[in-house]
A and B are shown apart, each in its own frame.
Chain A
Amino acid sequence: MTAFIQYTLQGLALGGFYALAALGLAVIFGVLGVVNFSHGACYMLGAVGAALLLDATGLGFWAALPIITVAMFLFGVLLERLFVQWLLRLDPLYNFLLTFGITLFLVDFVKRRYGVSSLPYELPAGLQGRVNVGSVSLSSYQIFVAVFSVALCLAVWLLLTKTRVGMIVRASTEDAERSRALGINVGRWVTPVFGFGIALAGLAGVLRAPTGSVNADMGSFFIIILFAVVVIGGLGSILGAVVAGFLVGLVEAYGQGYAGSFSQVLIFVLMAVVILVRPSGLFGREEAAS
């Protein structure tokens, strides 16, 4: 039983991180209708950026969190202005291919420039050590990441549901034509939202750097799990991404505890089952299922 509780905690901690990482993907799809395949590469850029920042200036984790997030926001704005916007009016598959191409470019660029080995990055001061309650325990950093992620997801959700900006963005998503008729400049919100999504990917990368390998390929596999998360949650649904993030985290932790090397397969089994039962995902829009 102790083991089960321990696995559950680890799953929840992991789930918080998945939720945050998938959130940007969900936001971008929800507002722009773009399946951003470069999300994994931007996650990688966030982590690599943090490592380079440390190497070049000595600025550590706490400084990297805001700096990299802002830098990635600007990078996202640049991507949208230079490339993505021109394809928005075409079939969505064009942007899907575009972002896939951007991924290949970014990954190979980092490989050529910085090699394939992991770049050094250590735990931030103050987050070493563990928290023990009875016989279950979690590392302080795991707890920090989970709490930070959940708080951020909550903030994004509040932003989108309780503020005027959020309402405009949601209205533009629901029905761009009618929003435009009501005098809302829909196009104006597209760029910052894309930048915001990319910033979230970069932020997730920074959060990952102290606890995993920081290299060019780190996003290539991660993006597959993220897609599983957003597909399970329902493409474009923010609540869906968060709930599915936790679900996938739990499935992976139980999988590691009880099913060994099948732990990742279980995520895709879950995805397949969800698609069979609810083709639009757990929180996907009704119309997507029709």
Chain B
Amino acid sequence: MQRTRNSMSSFARRPLALAATAVTGSLVLAACGAGGPSSGGGKISDDKVVLGLLNDQSGVYKDLSGPNSKVAIEMAVADYKAKYGDKAVAKNIEIVQADHQNKPDIANTKAQEMYDRQKADIILDVPTSSAALAVATQAKAKKKLFIDIGAGTTALTGKSCNKYTFHWAYDTYMLAQGTGATAVQNGGKNWSIVYPDYAFGQDMTKSFTNAVTKAGGTVQQSIATPFPNDNFSTFITKAESSKPNVIGIMAAGGDLINFVKQFNQAGLQGKTQLAVGLMFITDIHSLGVDQFQGTQFTDAWYWNFDDQNRAWADKFKAKTQTRPSFAHAGNYSAALQYLEAVQRAGTDNSDAVVKELEGKKLNDVFLRNGEVRAADHRVLHDAYLVKVKSKDQVKEEWDYEEVVSTIPAAEAFNPTVSTDCTM
């Protein structure tokens, strides 16, 4: 075999080293991303109602919402059609979906595409706070509806609130109120918070610090970590150094799994209480109940809470072979209530539909004692403080949570409307 590789040593190694360095560097930078171009125009089509699902179809949030949320929306459409039959205002309903890869620039472009080219009347879901804020801006500009389910930032009903944007399932205030305040009441007065240093983590830390302080506790230290991050061992040592009763972790997805595994390996399980800021049932499924056992967190909805939820979850399972997360149920609820509002309004005209949603009291499988607050479009509903079961309490797959208490709608969300919000 004739090889010329040997001659490479003097020349090519250096460019190669540089190339490797350059690629390494550019991959780090790729996380930042850039803004996309925009295209104008905006037509309203009245011969069909188009529901746009914009979420993470391939990345970290795929399993907790992703493609299965389309199934949830299809279930809403089927239920709407079954209910109204020939009297349905929206006879022709189409669902379109796109992957925003959790990047605000892509979410921005895809949202424009959905509103303009695919003639979407509404965009649903949009996890990742920064992406959700980008879509809210588009909704405002195009005067089309946007109901966010997957993102947590309170800015959607604060600085970035607008007439066409609704925040349906949860927000960082809700998570902090349930988990933070309850832990303090149960004796967890001193906290260390570990959070990923980006919009969501910062917002969570602020909300938790407020909730803990208000309940009479103290946050001794809040430790910023890179995002994403594989190794938390020294961060955990540091968090433990102030001898807290509770360590709060505000990471999500894979980083949360990394943290909890290493927290348990540091011998802290059962010694220092672990409070998880945002947890989905899919996280418990990946890590196994053992590792999370006894951990309390706030859930917006749980599939095995009562018969109504269970019946819906059974239908969902028949189609997807898995149990729904709260995001799936939230997407169902949002799509259903949107169609109901179209029905009441008799049109899919955005302003008319918004009027039908604002201030309405709503109830369905997801919304209990639900109300769309007119002032900022925060949807208030009951939330749940839950505890992860121990292994011997689990009776079937996905039966991981025990509802400790129901947090009434009025207390679950911030009762005061942000002064930053002007519609």
Residue tally, chain A, CB below 8 Å to B? 77
B266-A235 in contact (CB<8A): no
The CA-CA distance from A88 to B3 in the complex, in Å, is: 8
CB-nearest residue of chain B relative to A115?
B63
Question: Judging by beta carbons under 8 Å apart, are B233 and A130 in contact?
Answer: no
Q: What residues of B have a CB within 8 angstroms of the CB of A149 in the complex?
A: none
Do B8 and A92 touch (CB < 8 A)? yes
Distance A7 CA – B237 CA, assembled complex (angstroms) = 8
A80 interface residue, CB < 8 Å from B?
Answer: no
Q: Which of A203-242 contact B (CB under 8 A)?
A: 210-213, 215, 217-218, 221-222, 224, 227-228, 230-231, 235-236
One of B14-22, B74-82, B140-148, B396-404 contacting the partner: B14-22
* Residue pair A287, B9 in contact (C-beta under 8 Å): yes
Contact A261 B197 (CB under 8 A): yes
A176, A231, A287: the one contacting B24 at CB < 8 Å is A231
Interface positions, chain B 199-238, Cβ under 8 Å from A, are: 223-235, 237-238
> Which stretch from A62-70, A151-159, A162-170, A277-285 is at the chain B interface?
A277-285
Are B13 and A287 in contact (CB-based, < 8 A)?
yes
B395 on the A face (CB < 8 A) = no
Is A217 within 8 A of B13, CB to CB? no
Closest to B12 in A: A92
| Cα(A13)–Cα(B13), bound, Å | 31
**B62 CB contact (under 8 Å) in A116, A137, A218:** A116
Is B265 located at the chain interface by the 8 A CB criterion? yes
Determine the residue in chain B with the shortest Cβ distance to A259.
B224
Tally of chain B residues near chain A (CB < 8 A): 64
- The answer to whether B21 and A231 touch across the interface, beta carbons within 8 angstroms, is yes
How far is it, in angstroms, between the C-alpha of A108 and the C-alpha of B28 when the chains are bound? 20
Query: In chain A, residues 143-187, which have Cβ atoms closer than 8 Å to a Cβ of chain B?
Result: 175-177, 186-187
**Closest approach, in angstroms, between the C-beta of A221 and any C-beta of chain B?**
6
Interface residue? B272 (CB, 8 A): no
Verify if B6 is at the interface (C-beta below 8 Å from A): yes
Interface string of A131-148 (1 = CB under 8 A from B): 000000101011000000
* Minimum distance in angstroms from B404 CB to a CB of chain A: 25
Partner-A contacts on B (CB < 8 A): 1-6, 8-10, 12-14, 16-17, 19-21, 23-25, 27-28, 58-64, 197, 223-235, 237-238, 241, 253-255, 257-258, 261-262, 265-267, 282-283, 285-288, 290-291
User: A residues touching B (Cβ–Cβ < 8 Å)?
Assistant: 3, 6-7, 10-11, 13-14, 32-33, 35, 37, 88-89, 91-93, 96, 108, 111, 115-120, 122-123, 128-130, 137, 139, 141-142, 175-177, 186-187, 210-213, 215, 217-218, 221-222, 224, 227-228, 230-231, 235-236, 252-253, 256-257, 260-265, 268, 271, 275, 279-281, 284-285, 287-290
Taking A217-B59, A224-B28, A285-B13 as known contacts, 11 extra A-B pairs with beta carbons closer than 8 A to each other, sorted by chain A number, are A89-B2, A117-B285, A176-B5, A212-B230, A213-B258, A213-B261, A261-B225, A263-B225, A271-B21, A288-B9, A288-B13
